[in-house]
Chains A and B, each alone.
Chain A
Amino acid sequence: MATNVATIDAAKGPARPGLLAQLVRFCRKKPLGAAGGALMVLMVLTAIFAEPLSTHDPIATDAGATLAQPGAAHWLGTDHLGRDIYSRIVHGTRISLIVGLLSTILGSVFGGLIGLVSAYFGGKTDLITQRVLDILQGLPLLVLALVMSAALGPSVENVVIAISIPILPRAARIIRSSVLSIREMQYIEAARALGLRHLRIAFRHVLPNTIGPFLVLTTAQLGAAILVEATLSFLGLGVPEPYPSWGRMLSVSAAEYAQKAPHLVLFPGIAISLAVFGSNLLGDALRDTLDPRLRGAQ
């Protein structure tokens, strides 16, 4: 994430100072965004090095140590089956990040392509696409994801698809509006006068200039996607067993054992909140940096 920020900044500046200097400037100007970026880097590292970081097997049960309090043997305690909470949270990072990232990328790329085609060709194509997107956007993100994941059945791939579909219309909207303004620019007219084909103009000349809003969109949606995954898993419609998912850790434990072992509820929730908080902070800072016009919009 942090390297992305630096690349954008570097691409914008005419003098192209060093990557490190750019990063330092971003941190100084946007301390909150830098904190968010640090959280995201931490999350990515945890996901990559989940095995060496965890102290126990995340799915191994231990009948002798059920509902253990946080302590030396189990840092964050154990659940009702004696599974180590800390190791499950560490491994859950991987699921959250993979589902969050994949669904955001899937939704934004396809949504972006729809927006590009819709805006570039305009006319009837645009009108019909916009109406279909209106319908999809008329439903709350969670409700649509809920219906989709129920319709597709529980599996990691299906959860990714279910979450990506509500992101489609949002991505299409944003890319469409930026393509609409790019389309009218003189260099596009020049490209057309040169006799370039539509596809080439759309993908080589228009698309690269939408990368700013696109990046802002993806970081902003990442937090929402992680949250929706947690909620779906909480309701039993998300990532199936045996994958340790933050949302499902809350659902299994919550109702019955919460009074006896509050750590069951506390820690997975903190993990979800931190992950979403990090991507929200970073998304906000990126939006302020890259596109002041989008400030305040969802």
Chain B
Amino acid sequence: MSVVIFLLLRLAPGNIVDILFATGGYVSETDKQLIMQELGLDKPIVTQYLEWIGNMFTGDLGKSYRYDVPAWDVIKPLIPVTIELAILSTIISILIGVPTGVMSAVKQDTMLDYGLRIFSLAGLSMPSFWLGMVIILVLAAYIGWIPPVTYVPITENFTIHAVQFLLPSLAVGYRSSALITRITRSAMLEVLREDYVRTAWAKGQHERAVIWRHALKNAMLPVVTVIGIEFAFLIGGLVVTETVFNLPGLARFLVQAILWRDYPIVQTLVMFIAIVVVLSNLLVDLLYGVLDPRVRYSS
């Protein structure tokens, strides 16, 4: 994994030194060599890679070329913002996705089913950054609200903070809810045809109890898988949403670091995203055991 990320970045034409020079006007060739040497960019790629990996194991993630401080120091304050956004968006996507999926399955092939499926596919089709822009525009036009230019921490003003985070989460959450809706629908369709559900109906149980307690419980397994996958992919979706809403998160910073060819930052961020993906997949695997006794792992 690390090799691939490293090589991809080194393929890039142009490096930070050139970019710094382009903005700073003419600088002599010897100065350029000096900076290259200082940043370690003159060494062979293999050496650069081995140094990076070696340093990573000792907890040193390299120094940001641009800010001249350790990469970790730049990244650390950005993590809570992105995590908060990701969790909020996931919650919103579940709140939208599961009920629409269930209703869609229960009323299969009715107008309601078609309507809900169009609603969820529309979410999948709209770029989340555009949806964010439209939300801002509508709010500005009707209640004269314009998103704060700077990030407001939760300790400073709770209401502004909540609005600042809820809107982008809505834009991202609606988009990821589409897949949850689809999986919930197909899982529910399967479960609703099982014998035990017919038994529940025959016992004269209320519709609500049959659908939401008996059926949904067993339909949740594939849904949880998708939520796990979505959580990781949400971070990709946040890249643009953070940019639109001006939130100082990891994802927005990744774009800036890429534009600056700030390798240590980009490498660390991409590795971080990859680790989150692997961890969320692991979490899903473990959750299987909790949700379904049949797949409980024997020790």
Chain A: residues with CB nearer than 8 A to chain B? Answer: 32, 132, 135-136, 138-143, 146-148, 150-153, 223, 227, 230-231, 234-237, 247, 250, 254, 258-259, 262, 265-266, 269, 272-274, 276-277, 280-281, 284, 295-296, 298
Q: Which residue of B lies closest to A258 (CB)?
A: B137
> Scoring B residues 261 to 282 as 1 if CB is less than 8 Å from chain A, else 0, what string do you get?
1000010001001100110000
A13 to B140, CA, bound (A): 56
A152 to B11, CA, bound (A): 7
B159 within 8 A of A: no
9-residue interface stretch from B45-53, B195-203, B233-241: B233-241
Which residues on A sit within 8 Å (CB–CB) of B244? Answer: 254
B125 within 8 A of A: yes
Provide 5 A-B residue pairs closer than 8 Å at the C-beta atoms, listed in order of the A residue.
Answer: A138-B1, A150-B12, A227-B125, A250-B133, A276-B124
Chain B: residues with CB nearer than 8 A to chain A? Answer: 1, 4-5, 8-9, 11-14, 114, 117-118, 121-122, 124-127, 129-130, 133-134, 136-137, 140-141, 179, 182-183, 186-187, 222, 229, 232-233, 235-237, 239-240, 243-244, 254-255, 258-259, 261, 266, 270, 273-274, 277-278
Which residues on B sit within 8 Å (CB–CB) of A152? Answer: 11-13
Q: Are A151 and B12 in contact (CB under 8 A)?
A: yes
State the Cβ distance, B195 to closest chain A Cβ, in Å: 22
A150 to B267, CA, bound (A): 13
Which residues on B sit within 8 Å (CB–CB) of A273? Answer: 122, 125-127, 130
A230 to B240, CA, bound (A): 11
Which residues on A sit within 8 Å (CB–CB) of B233? Answer: 140-141
Given that A153-B13, A234-B240 are contacting pairs, would A146 and B254 also be in contact in the complex, using a CB cutoff of 8 Å? Answer: yes
**Binding site of B, secondary structure by majority: helix, strand, loop or mixed?**
helix
| 18 other A-B residue contacts (CB within 8 Å) besides A147-B9, A273-B125 | A138-B277, A139-B270, A140-B237, A143-B270, A146-B254, A146-B258, A147-B270, A152-B12, A153-B12, A223-B125, A237-B258, A247-B127, A254-B244, A265-B133, A265-B134, A273-B122, A277-B122, A296-B183
Q: Which residue of B lies closest to A36 (CB)?
A: B121
Q: Are A227 and B127 in contact (CB under 8 A)?
A: yes
Which residues on B sit within 8 Å (CB–CB) of A136? Answer: 4
Q: Which residue of B lies closest to A236 (CB)?
A: B259
State the Cβ distance, B186 to closest chain A Cβ, in Å: 4
Which residues on A sit within 8 Å (CB–CB) of B179? Answer: 298
Which residues on B sit within 8 Å (CB–CB) of A141? Answer: 233, 236
Which residues on A sit within 8 Å (CB–CB) of B118? Answer: 32
Q: Are B259 and A150 in contact (CB under 8 A)?
A: yes
Q: Are A135 and B140 in contact (CB under 8 A)?
A: no
B1, B125, B129, B277: which has the most chain A beta carbons within 10 Å? B125
**Binding site of A, secondary structure by majority: helix, strand, loop or mixed?**
helix
State the Cβ distance, B276 to closest chain A Cβ, in Å: 10
State the Cβ distance, A2 to closest chain B Cβ, in Å: 19
Which residues on A sit within 8 Å (CB–CB) of B243? Answer: 235
State the Cβ distance, A184 to closest chain B Cβ, in Å: 27
Q: Which residue of A lies closest to B137 (CB)?
A: A262
Given that A140-B273, A223-B125 are contacting pairs, would A266 and B240 also be in contact in the complex, using a CB cutoff of 8 Å? Answer: no
State the Cβ distance, A144 to closest chain B Cβ, in Å: 8
Given that A223-B125, A296-B186 are contacting pairs, would A139 and B274 also be in contact in the complex, using a CB cutoff of 8 Å? Answer: yes
Q: Which listed residue (A143, A247, A250) contacts B236, Cβ 8 A?
A: A143
B13, B126, B229, B270: which has the most chain A beta carbons within 10 Å? B126
Given that A141-B236, A143-B254, A146-B254 are contacting pairs, would A265 and B137 also be in contact in the complex, using a CB cutoff of 8 Å? Answer: yes
State the Cβ distance, A260 to closest chain B Cβ, in Å: 11
Which residues on B sit within 8 Å (CB–CB) of A259? Answer: 137, 140
Q: Are B1 and A135 in contact (CB under 8 A)?
A: yes
Q: Which listed residue (A230, A262, A281) contacts B127, Cβ 8 A?
A: A230
Q: Which listed residue (A139, A237, A298) contacts B273, Cβ 8 A?
A: A139
A227 to B175, CA, bound (A): 12
A142 to B242, CA, bound (A): 14
Q: Are A32 and B141 in contact (CB under 8 A)?
A: no
Q: Which residue of A lies closest to B2 (CB)?
A: A135
B1, B9, B233, B236: which has the most chain A beta carbons within 10 Å? B236
